[in-house]
């Protein structure tokens, strides 16, 4: 009778019993660390993932914040909390590991859709699918913002960001204060003031702010 795939776990014990005596009867195989041993056995395949650290000729620097239970969550003192569950695991006999995630969509490093805070943009369908990938990807300028102020029109003017620059990473006091590494949401974070954002729109070519 053909077995169901889910019966694999029940098949495992007899298969193991069959293989164990075989393994015991075979001479040990050569290993780079023990070259004196016979080289007759086929090399054990070593499973090692390839970590892709470059893309398009450049080195990847991942500055995103990976999800942690104790990372801050908007207006919460308790952090993100548990966001990952494993209802099915191979270790427990399931065919595959299957995880479940639940968290606010504004957790960690993320982009906001234009429709996030403007109803008329939302109604007109400005979702994340409308974002331009050419704006999101490419060289960016890293600028240090004076640590004693939020980003106002005056701040923007003082930064002298050249025309033509499309993407800017603003390094602020938030980094110095390690705000993303504190569980409690801190409302005193530094950000753009309205006149600073307006100055950026009126006087620069910046399309991406981080
Ligand atoms: C596996 O099953 C045991 C016993 O039911 C349970 O305690 C454990 O949490 C399960 N683990 C996974 C990863 O599913
Ligand atoms: C499946 O889940 C188990 C239990 O958490 C874990 O030990 C194992 O590494 C996971 N395997 C994969 C392929 O994710
Ligand atoms: C920036 O603005 C926030 C909110 O008004 C305020 O709590 C914070 O102290 C300001 N930061 C600086 C460096 O001025």
Q: How far is CA 141 from the centre of its chain?
A: 21
Residues 147 and 166 in one domain: yes
Residue 36 lies in a domain: no
Residues 137 and 208 in one domain: yes
Please say if the pLDDT value at position 32 is more than 90.
Answer: no
Residue 51 lies in a domain: no
Please say if the pLDDT value at position 61 is more than 80.
Answer: yes
* Domain-terminating residue out of 84, 113, 131: 131
Residue 181 lies in a domain: yes
Residues 148 and 175 in one domain: yes
CATH code, domain carrying 173: 3.50.30.50
Residue 47 lies in a domain: no
Closest CA to 184 of 76, 106, 90: 76
Q: Summarize the confidence of residues 76-83 as an average pLDDT.
A: 97
Nearest residue (CA) to ligand 1, atom 8? 92
Q: What confidence category does residue 40 fall into, taking pLDDT thresholds of 50, 70 and 90?
A: low
142-183 pLDDT, tens digit per residue, is 999 999 999 999 999 999 999 999 999 999 999 999 999 999
Q: Summarize the confidence of residues 49-69 as an average pLDDT.
A: 90
Beta bridge partners of 142: 169
Nearest residue (CA) to ligand 2, atom 7? 91
Q: With left for phi above 0 and alpha for psi between -120 and 50, is residue 108 left, alpha or beta?
A: left
The number of distinct structural domains making up the chain is: 2
Nearest ligand 3 atom to alpha carbon 190: 1
* Domain-terminating residue out of 92, 116, 131: 131
Residue 99, φ and ψ in degrees, nearest 5: -100, 155
In whole angstroms, give the CA distance from residue 122 to residue 113.
Answer: 9
Give me ligand 3 centre to Cα 144, in Å.
Answer: 16
DSSP H helices in the chain: 8-25, 119-123, 133-136, 153-159, 173-176, 194-203
With a 6 A CB cut-off, is 43 part of the ligand 1 pocket?
Answer: no
Please say if the pLDDT value at position 16 is more than 50.
Answer: no
Which sequence positions are flagged as catalytic?
Answer: 116
Q: E strands within the chain?
A: 54-55, 58-59, 84-88, 98-101, 141-144, 167-171, 208-209
pLDDT at 39: 55
> In 3-state terms, what secondary structure has residue 81?
coil
Q: Summarize the confidence of residues 58-85 as an average pLDDT.
A: 94
Please say if the pLDDT value at position 30 is more than 80.
Answer: no
* Domain-terminating residue out of 131, 146, 181: 131
Give me ligand 2 centre to Cα 22, in Å.
Answer: 28
Q: Which domain holds residue 81?
A: 66-131
With a 6 A CB cut-off, is 97 part of the ligand 1 pocket?
Answer: no
pLDDT at 82: 98
Residue 44 lies in a domain: no
Q: What is the mean pLDDT of the chain?
A: 85
Q: Summarize the confidence of residues 118-144 as an average pLDDT.
A: 94
Residue 53 in contact with residue 163, Cβ under 8 Å?
no
In whole angstroms, give the CA distance from residue 131 to residue 113.
Answer: 8
With a 6 A CB cut-off, is 90 part of the ligand 2 pocket?
Answer: yes
pLDDT at 3: 43
Residue 23 lies in a domain: no
Residues 149 and 123 in one domain: no
Nearest residue (CA) to ligand 1, atom 12? 89
């Amino acid at each position: 009778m053909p077995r169901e795939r889910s019966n694999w776990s029940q098949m495992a014990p007899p298969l193991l019993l069959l293989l164990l005596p075989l393994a015991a009867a075979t001479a040990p195989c050569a290993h780079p660390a023990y070259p004196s041993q016979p080289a007759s056995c086929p090399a054990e395949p070593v499973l090692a993932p390839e970590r892709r650290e470059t893309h398009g000729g450049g080195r990847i620097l991942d500055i995103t914040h990976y999800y942690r239970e104790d990372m801050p969550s908007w207006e919460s003192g308790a952090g993100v909390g548990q966001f990952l569950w494993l209802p099915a695991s191979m270790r427990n006999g399931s065919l595959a590991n299957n995880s479940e995630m639940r968290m606010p969509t504004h957790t960690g490093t993320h982009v906001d859709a234009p429709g996030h805070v403007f109803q008329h943009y939302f109604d007109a369908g400005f979702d994340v699918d409308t974002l331009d990938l050419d704006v999101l990807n490419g060289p960016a300028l890293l600028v240090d913002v004076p640590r004693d102020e939020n980003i106002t029109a005056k701040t923007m003017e003082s930064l002298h960001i050249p025309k033509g620059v499309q993407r800017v990473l603003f390094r602020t006091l938030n980094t110095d204060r390690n705000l993303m590494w504190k569980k409690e949401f801190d409302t005193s974070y530094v950000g753009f003031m309205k006149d600073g954002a307006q100055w950026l729109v009126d006087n620069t070519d910046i399309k991406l702010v981080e």
